Amino acid sequence: MVDCPCCKGDGIQIMTVVGDAPRPGTYLVSCWFCKGAKRVSQAEADALARVCDEHLRRVLEILQPKWVVGIGEFATRRARLAAEGLPLQFAQILHPSPASPLANRDWAGQATAQLRAQKIWV
């Protein structure tokens, strides 16, 4: 964990489904938005996002999952961008943010229900 006053320390979660096995992974951590208490420039943030996108794409090319599940809207959007042109299916589940009243009510149960509703998990 990075000791930084402006960071939450959480990651952008991406889950791939390879065969029947879900494999979680982290796209990037929110701390890249700042250096200590100083925010990074948009150019620095964009450059890091490109590196993260390239890494995620390479991981997807190696694992060749059937599904990519974004945990939250931002993760889903970044995964779609990184995997453009790859033969993948995408889904999204609720992000377990402490700031979300909805996510604070049985997140695991809700995420499981969302995966089942999207026919990813039976």
Provide the CATH number for the domain around residue 63.
Answer: 3.40.470.10
Flag whether 38 is in a domain: yes
Pick out the chain residues at pLDDT < 70: 1-40
Flag whether 5 is in a domain: no
Residues 6+ apart with CB under 8 A from 77: 70
Q: What is the DSSP letter of 31?
A: G
Flag whether 19 is in a domain: yes
What is residue 9's predicted lDDT score, i.e. its pLDDT?
Answer: 42
Flag whether 2 is in a domain: no
Residues 6+ apart with CB under 8 A from 36: 4, 5
What is residue 107's predicted lDDT score, i.e. its pLDDT?
Answer: 85
Flag whether 54 is in a domain: yes
> What is the domain extent for residue 65?
11-117
> Could you give the 3-state DSSP secondary structure of residue 98?
coil
Residues 6+ apart with CB under 8 A from 118: 91
Q: What six digits make up the tokens of 24?
A: 């979680």
What is residue 27's predicted lDDT score, i.e. its pLDDT?
Answer: 58
CA proximity to 57, closest of 11, 12, 16, 9: 16
Flag whether 55 is in a domain: yes
- Kindly report whether the global pTM for this prediction surpasses the value 0.85: no
| Amino acid at site 66 | K
Domain count, the chain: 1
Q: What average pLDDT does the structure give for the chain?
A: 76
